[in-house]
């Protein structure tokens, strides 16, 4: 009798333990399902907000292709000089005609503010290489890089002196073959050319370069910080001066650049700059991030707010006319934003 009672108690205890484990597992699954549903809903809502922002950014670009309404007063600077609305597309956070929402940030970059890889002349590339290598660059290394570039963009498999052709690239792990065409398909392709990955290892290539359009010069009203850091004659201090200048007024012509850039620097910079515009744009949209005091940077004794967002949904659009939808050439859900930091304050 006692043995039977003991067996019953053991069975009841084990049953209770199994039921407890079963209930715990089921509760965990229900909680996991609830969390999954919540995060899926958040993701869908975020995607819908970004899609809405991108559509309104496209509308903004189409509106810029239209004639200004007769009753709309043009924007002018403090001196009464006309300011081009096209120069708003230099990466500054935009207030759209059709607002994208209080919590969304939209930045648009006209590709006239980038260096065009597909319109690069050999002497231009040499200047970029020499600036990247710093003071007193090794002439042999400069020539080796130029030869590798030439072999990558020419139309044959014949290696030049100290160049690199098909046999070199096929010996790598993993192997690949050179472009052998002057038109690159992507900006990141630059890293595949022998020596160029190391040369530009810390550069956001998508921010500095473009492969779209016919322009050879860079418009300083639209230039990204990354592109200007590569241009001959410009230092970080001068780049800050340029950004500060264009916040208040436009560089209306080449002469106005001389108001900011000293003569000795301007001589180097002059062949690189122009007032060209492009029909190609990089459009970024992302939720606004809160910035606390610790995330602010001190510049010249004053506090300035920095945008902590470094990656965002991005599309490259080609906008030719207000009558046609934009042609989307590239979509990158994790696009790397160009440097959005403000210029340091004057001492």
Domain boundaries, the chain: 1-114+218-347
Residue 298's pLDDT is: 45
Tokens of 175: 């192997």
Residue 211's pLDDT is: 97
Residue 100: half-sphere exposure toward Cβ, Cα within 13 Å: 28
* DSSP conformation letters of 247-297: HHS---SHHHHTTTS-HHHHHHHGGGB-----SEEEEEEEEPPP--GGG-E
Residue 123's pLDDT is: 95
Give rounded-to-5 percent helix, strand, coil for the chain: 45, 15, 40
How far apart, in whole angstroms, are the C-alpha atoms of residue 60 and residue 96? 6
Which residues, 6+ apart, have CB-to-CB distance to 99 below 8 Å?
56
pTM summary value: 0.85
Sign for the CA dihedral angle at 31, 34, 36, 38 comes to negative
Tokens of 191: 């890293």
Q: What is the pLDDT along the chain (347 residues), one digit of tens a residue?
A: 556 666 777 777 788 888 888 888 887 777 777 777 766 777 788 888 999 999 999 999 999 998 877 777 888 888 888 999 999 999 999 999 999 888 899 999 999 999 999 999 999 999 999 999 998 999 999 999 999 999 999 999 898 888 999 999 999 999 999 999 999 999 999 999 999 999 999 999 999 999 999 999 999 999 999 999 999 999 999 999 999 999 999 999 888 999 999 999 999 999 999 999 999 999 999 999 876 555 555 444 333 456 899 999 999 999 999 999 999 999 999 999 999 988 875 54
Tokens of 132: 């990247």
209 neighbors 188 (Cβ within 8 angstroms): no
Kindly state the DSSP code that residue 330 receives in the 8-state scheme: E
């Amino acid at each position: 009798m006692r043995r039977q009672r003991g067996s019953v108690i053991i069975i009841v205890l084990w049953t209770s333990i199994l039921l407890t484990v079963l209930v715990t597992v089921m509760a965990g699954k229900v909680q996991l399902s609830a969390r999954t549903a919540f995060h899926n809903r958040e993701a869908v809502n975020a995607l819908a907000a970004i899609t809405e922002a991108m559509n309104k950014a496209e509308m903004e670009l189409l509106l810029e292709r239209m004639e200004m309404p007769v009753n709309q007063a043009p924007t002018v600077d403090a001196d009464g000089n006309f300011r081009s609305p096209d120069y708003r597309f230099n990466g500054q956070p935009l207030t759209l005609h059709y607002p994208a929402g209080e919590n969304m940030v939209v930045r648009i970059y006209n590709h006239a503010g980038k260096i065009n890889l597909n319109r690069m002349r050999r002497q231009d590339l040499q200047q970029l290489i020499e600036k990247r290598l710093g003071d007193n660059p090794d002439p042999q290394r400069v020539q080796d890089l130029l030869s590798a570039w030439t072999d990558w963009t020419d139309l044959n498999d014949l290696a030049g002196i100290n160049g690199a052709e098909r046999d070199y690239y096929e010996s790598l792990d993993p192997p690949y073959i050179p472009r052998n065409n002057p038109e690159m398909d992507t900006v990141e392709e630059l890293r595949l050319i022998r020596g160029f990955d190391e040369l530009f290892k810390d550069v956001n290539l998508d921010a500095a370069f473009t492969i779209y359009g016919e322009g050879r010069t860079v418009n300083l009203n639209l230039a990204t910080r990354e592109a200007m850091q590569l241009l001959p004659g410009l230092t970080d201090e001068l780049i800050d001066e340029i950004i500060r200048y264009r916040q208040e007024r436009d560089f209306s012509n080449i002469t106005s650049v001389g108001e900011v850039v000293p003569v000795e620097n301007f001589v180097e910079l002059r062949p690189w700059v122009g007032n060209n515009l492009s029909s190609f744009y990089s459009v970024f949209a992302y939720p606004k991030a809160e910035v606390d005091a610790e995330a602010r940077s001190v510049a010249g004794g004053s506090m300035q707010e920095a945008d902590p967002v470094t990656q965002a949904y991005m599309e490259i659009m080609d906008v030719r006319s207000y009558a046609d939808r934009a042609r989307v050439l590239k979509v990158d859900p994790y696009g790397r934003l160009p440097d959005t930091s403000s210029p340091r304050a004057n001492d």
